[in-house]
């Protein structure tokens, strides 16, 4: 019997009761804006938020990241509402999400250069890579809803908000540690599904 974790339940609840309803509203209100266009707008918003971080600093930049990250789930919700989910749309969404996150870390590094920023950024990409490549090879990845991309961005926003009082160069070690923990847990899950030797 498959175990359903608490963070998976929360994620499913949010998707069914908030995300999909917003997707239905947007698909009706803006019928000419496709899911892929929402994805493109989300990427441009992430790029703009990255420039805003460099221009105005981490604290004010956190609110720009908050706004841009709201696009992360809109495209998928609109695609589901219109029953037009596609492999290309999913790939475009994944690609732009990773690029957007990459620009966030580049912007933070330009404002507060440190090894912690680099390691947090690198391990963030590894978390996504393990899941994507594991699923591509036929493994089921059930661990890490809250420590996936959404959880990382929420934590990153919180750390940026706290940056005037607590050095983000120090607090990003927390994100790096959570990333490494998630990578190990996902790796263990994949290892347990390997065929018998």
| pLDDT tens, residue by residue, 2-26 | 455 555 565 666 666 667 788 788 8
Q: Give the confidence band of 87 by pLDDT, cuts at 50, 70, 90.
A: confident
Higher pLDDT, 151 or 20: 151
Which domains, and CATH codes, for the chain?
A: 6-192 (1.20.120.1760)
Q: Give the confidence band of 1 by pLDDT, cuts at 50, 70, 90.
A: very low
| CA dist list (Å): 148 to 55, 60, 154 | 28, 24, 10
Q: Which of 77-86, 96-105, 124-133 has the highest mean pLDDT?
A: 96-105
Q: 122-138 pLDDT, tens per residue?
A: 999 999 888 888 888 88
Q: Which of 12-16, 44-48, 82-86, 95-99 has the highest mean pLDDT?
A: 44-48
Give the chain's end-to-end CA distance (angstroms, integer).
24
* CA dist., res. 79 & res. 96, Å (int): 16
Section 90-97 average pLDDT: 88
């Amino acid at each position: 019997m498959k175990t359903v974790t608490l963070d998976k339940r929360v994620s499913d609840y949010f998707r069914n009761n908030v995300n999909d309803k917003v997707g239905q509203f947007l698909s009706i209100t803006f019928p000419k804006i496709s899911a892929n266009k929402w994805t493109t707008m989300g990427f441009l918003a992430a790029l703009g938020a990255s420039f805003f971080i460099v221009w105005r600093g981490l604290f004010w930049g956190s609110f720009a990241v908050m706004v841009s990250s709201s696009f992360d789930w809109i495209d998928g919700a609109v695609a589901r509402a219109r029953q037009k989910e596609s492999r290309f749309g999913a790939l475009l969404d994944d690609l732009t999400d990773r690029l957007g996150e990459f620009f966030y870390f580049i912007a933070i590094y330009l404002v507060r250069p440190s090894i912690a920023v680099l390691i947090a950024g690198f391990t963030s990409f590894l978390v996504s890579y393990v899941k994507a490549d594991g699923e591509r090879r036929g493994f089921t990845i059930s661990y890490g809803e809250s420590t996936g991309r959404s959880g990382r961005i929420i934590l990153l926003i919180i750390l940026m908000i706290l940056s005037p009082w607590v050095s983000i160069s120090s607090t990003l070690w927390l994100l790096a540690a959570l990333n490494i923990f998630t990578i190990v847990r996902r790796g263990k899950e994949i290892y347990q599904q390997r065929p018998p030797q």
